[in-house]
Amino acid sequence: MQSTFETVKVAVENNIAVVTISREAALNALSSKVISELTALAAELDVDNDVRVVIVTGAGEKAFVAGADIAEMSQMSATAAHAFAEMGGVCGAAIEHSHKPWIAAVNGFALGGGCELALACDFIYASDKALFGQPEVKLGVIPGFGGTQRLLRRVGVAKAKELCMTGDSIKADEALRIGLADAVVPHAELMATVQALAMRIAANGPLAVAEVKRLIQQGQSTTLENGLALEQRSFGLLFSTEDQREGMAAFLSRPKRAAAFKGK
């Protein structure tokens, strides 16, 4: 890593980066500084060849991210609030459109901006102590970092309306039931479970994994016909890579061996 940050910490091991939102005293609330640092870090990780999967979590035992920083927002004008929402949007897009898979390890409160941060990730794994919600209407505002849009794509129109209009919080088991979370595990097992998922993904061809992510993302906003054409093109292009040759050679070797992918 080239940069150092104050509010986000990163550790890289075995091709997996663990990013920790580090404002435990503020329940890891998303201030402008946190958002800008997380966006910059996401850009750096995206071009780091030593990183194949990113895990994001919150410092401490109580919160993933308890929300956006209300103390900061309370002083904003309409123009400043718009800019703040755009800043959050850029951060979410940096994660959503990253070449690397991002896994949210939700270890506690994931409310407001915290839920939106998780929604920008490819997978949401939750502790059985996690709590999800979009409570912005209780403050007289709405989600501003993608909550109304990504949530409906995750859980459907009616449930997204219910969560965003009531501002209710839901426990991890309910989040799993409606499709907001992908898995719920005992709190003490969360990081080990997420690490195991990250390792299974990181063992695969990184160029292929990146194409899967890109195609599924694009497939949500195009026709089936166009999506299939994009898939076929990518399938062919991957046959020009070293990873394809290595992966198939490893599979055909006797005895069969693990492929040593290079992302080339």
Residues marked active site are found at 116, 136
Residue 230 φ/ψ region, left for φ over 0, alpha for ψ in the -120 to 50 degree band, beta for the rest: alpha
Gap between the Cα atoms of 195 and 105, Å rounded: 10
Neighbouring residues of 184: CB distance < 8 A, sequence distance ≥ 6: 125, 126, 127, 128, 130, 172, 173, 175, 176
Q: Could you tell me where the beta strands, DSSP code E, fall in 116-247?
A: 123-127, 131-133, 169-171, 183-185
Can you count the helices (H) and strands (E) in the chain?
11, 10
Instruction: Give the β-pairing of 16-21 and 8-13.
Output: antiparallel
Gap between the Cα atoms of 29 and 7, Å rounded: 10
Q: What are phi and psi of 20, to 5 degrees?
A: -120, 120
Closest to 113 (Cα-Cα) out of 104, 126, 100, 103: 104
